[in-house]
Structure 1
């Protein structure tokens, strides 16, 4: 398969790339990769697809949310998180349908904070829950047998030391397990699913 992997340099992206290394992977990111893209910018997404050519699968492991106590969260900050991690991934699907082959797939990435909320995490929790709703609804209308899923990992082992104070009590998962979730989404038959890891 020819797979476009956005966010390949982050911990989750590296896990996905390693697990899917048997395929041809085209990487993309804001500052690194074979191609450049800012997923919060629709024109940048369109340019990415023009450069990438025909694809069998698209994986997004990119996107950022905003973290702040709800009493300090502003409308602008909340909207910025939605525009990036939520609408960025939604737009990758909307603008990418014509570039993915029949029977291909989109795999998005959320996280566990909608299931296991933390302080200052309301923006991330909202985005993660919305991505699950999006893939369930979109799966019913995807053309040409294209599938769509979202991988929802918890804290990765390699990020645990840095993030444990922010995410207390979460049991880390290995990069290997996270990578297998992307294999399931790309090579398997699941559709409209939130694939939980941890």
Structure 2
């Protein structure tokens, strides 16, 4: 029997990148998977690629919409939140409006889900943070602060929501569609340079994070944890 046989899994941000990889891994473990995202077209594309999933339009910035969705749902066994659009840059160059938008998307979006999500006892809620919480960057100060806040939220919620388990995954640099706006050669050069600097010898792929997500869903003794999957980025 597979690890998540017939378990109800919701992946918010499941239409691309890390979220889509988590959805694929959960399907492979026998789960009943729902992917959620803001864009109907991207959800349709992801559903076609993944196969046997349900797709739901959800926006984590819409508190009323989130509440209405969970009111009509049975409790999920596991929920992962990876949806976020976060402008970044040095504090002196990143405008306050963009900074607030980043915080609204990644931190307050996760907070909004945690307030209303229906999760079965012994189930789990997992956030995706990032290694900048531990290794700050002069060019991404806000990102580090948001990630650290998200990890603190997970630890506090692990106490408040028990026996639901709450954890965070902290990725390093991951090759996802987020980087598709870069020129191909520049992106490849950046990945090669960063990969060469890491003990793991490469940058990450979404499947690396999906492995950690399945671990947290299926390990009943894991709560209040931050699982770092960064290729050694914090220690390099």
* TM-score interval for Structure 1 and Structure 2 normalised by the shorter chain: 0.7 to 0.9
Task: Note the C-alpha offset of 1:5.
Answer: 0.8
Superposed, 1:3-82 pairs within 5 Å as 3-21=9-27, 22-32=30-40, 33=43, 34-82=55-103
- Residue 157 of structure 1: CA displacement? 3.8
**CA 1:163–1:101 in structure 2 vs 1: closer, same or farther (change >3 Å)?**
farther
Determine which of 197, 206, 212 is the counterpart of 1:181. Answer: 212
- Once residues 148 and 112 of structure 1 are traced to their aligned partners in structure 2, the CA distance between those partners, rounded to angstroms, is 18
Q: Spell out the pairing of 1:106-117 with structure 2 (5 A cutoff).
A: 106-117=125-136
Shift of 1:167: 10
2-structure distance, mates of 1:63, 1:16:
15
Cα separation, 1, equivalents of 2:129 and 2:70: 22
Tell me the CA shift for residue 8 of structure 1. 0.8
Runs of 4+ residues over 6 Å off in structure 1: none
- 1:69 Cα offset (Å): 2.2
Cα distance in 1, alignment partners of residues 123 and 216 from structure 2: 10
> CA shift at 1:36, angstroms?
0.9
- Residues 191 and 203, structure 2, Cα contact 8 Å, conserved in 1: no
What is the number of residues matched between the two proteins?
195
Match of 2:51 in 1: none
Q: Which moved more, 1:106-115 or 1:159-168?
A: 159-168
Aligned equivalent of 1:141: 160
For residues 76 and 163 of structure 1, the distance between their equivalents in structure 2, rounded to whole angstroms, comes to: 31
Question: How has the CA–CA distance of structure 1 residues 83 and 10 changed in structure 2, closer, same or farther, with 3 Å as cutoff?
Answer: same
Q: Aligned-pair distance for 1:163? A: 8.0
Deviation at 1:158, TM superposition (A): 4.9
Counterpart of 1:169 in structure 2 is 194
Of the candidates 140, 148, 151, which is equivalent to residue 129 of structure 1?
148
Counterparts of 1:92 and 1:141 in 2: how far apart (Å)? 14
Q: Retained in 1: the 8 A contact 2:89–2:139?
A: yes
Q: State the alpha-carbon separation in 2 of the partners of residues 168 and 186 from structure 1.
A: 33
Change (3 A) 1:123 1:51: farther
Unaligned runs of 5+ in 2: 1-6, 44-54, 196-201, 231-236
Aligned pair in 2 of structure 1 residues 167, 41: CA closer, same or farther (>3 Å)?
farther
**Greater RCO, CA 8 A, separation 6+:** 1
Task: Name structure 1 gaps, 5 residues minimum.
Answer: none
Q: Report if the CA contact (8 A) 1:55-1:101 is conserved.
A: yes
